[in-house]
Amino acid sequence: MADSTSMDDCVPSIASIRDAAAHIKVTRTPVVTSKTMDERSGCTVFFKCELFQRTGSFKFRGASNAIRKLNDEERRNGVCTHSSGNHAQALALAAKLAGIKATIVMPENAPAVKRAAVESYGATIVTVPATQRDREEGAARVVRETGATMIPPYDHPDIISGQGTIALELFEQVDGSLDFLIVPVGGGGMLSGVSIAAKTLCPDVQIVAAEPKGADDAYRSITSGEYVPLVAANTIADGLRTSLGAITWPIIRDRVAHCITVSEEEIIAAMRLVWERMKLVIEPSAAVGVAVLLSAEFADLARETAGNLGRSPRVGVVLCGGNVSLDRLPWQN
């Protein structure tokens, strides 16, 4: 079941992540390297390319896992979610493949390319103002009126477990060892799942949350040790304009070693660099992780670790998606 869970069920684990990996049908995305990025960061870097996942982002993993856990009654009533785009696309396709109706509540500022993709998968779109409250209230209204099962974009164990399969693949692809793993964070579903798997497979890896300065609730929460909600977001990284969840926050609090924030200028520069030098079409949310890799704050961490190890640190970076409007590239504005 994807929505009604007991508290005991609300704690994803390495077992639930491995179960998801055994059952969901997703693309095993490649890991790529770049001499340019190694030279600029002073590290040996491995980029996990979730832009090549179905629907263009990691979100298809969690959505597929949540859909497969529905019971017969929930399948008949359909599913609902609220999302700025990537989870919307993922759930729309996962539902379509399972023969289930999907209703997606999207903010009015969602990128047109993501809205078009959701529509192409046959989902019904309900447009609301671009606030977290309006998104949640809009989804709750759909659930009341249709009986659909709510599948949230990040704060659910089935979603988190699905996203954790990224790390299972990554550590197999890099022979099981990383010193740092940089993961963008919005609501924290990917960061939570990846952290659970990564710290199980490689206990010494340092998890680094990557976040825009204009949506820095994870940074403020980790720094204070207490949950700090995101009141308003101002960032080009539309996939990261959400607050941490009740389930994701404790997982992140207990496993993430560092949270580094980057400016809009750094995000845009990193996105353009990846496009130009790595020939990978990433979206701004993915560029946040690259910007952190190239930041002065991470350089300090890397130098300290290199001194302790006597070698360049091995760093994983999750490129979480590649859904971007080609008509509105940020460096052209």
CB 67 within 8 A of CB 93: no
DSSP string, 218-251: HHHHHHHTS---------S-GGG-SPPPTTHHHH
Dihedrals phi, psi of 69, to nearest 5 degrees: -90, -5
Spatial neighbors of 205 by CB under 8 A, at least 6 apart, are 178, 179, 180, 181, 198, 199
Tokens (6 digits) for 37 = 């990025």
In whole angstroms, give the CA distance from residue 8 to residue 179.
32
Cβ neighbourhood burial of 203 (10 Å; 0-12, 13-18, 19+): exposed
HSE, side-chain direction, 13 A CA sphere, residue 124: 12
**Considering 34, 84, 192, 243, which one is annotated as catalytic?**
84
Tokens (6 digits) for 193 = 């799942």
Q: Which CA distances in Å does 46 have to 159, 173, 282, 315, 331? A: 24, 9, 15, 6, 26
Residue 84 falls in the annotated catalytic set: yes
Among the listed residues 110, 123, 112, 55, the one whose alpha carbon sits nearest the alpha carbon of residue 84: 110
Is the Cα torsion angle 257, 261, 262, 264 positive or negative in sign?
Answer: positive
**Considering 59, 69, 114, 199, which one is annotated as catalytic?**
59
In whole angstroms, give the CA distance from residue 302 to residue 123.
44
In whole angstroms, give the CA distance from residue 107 to residue 192.
24
Q: H or E stretch including 315?
A: strand 314-319
Chain-centroid distance of CA 328 in Å reads 22
Q: H or E stretch including 314?
A: strand 314-319
Catalytic residue numbers?
59, 84
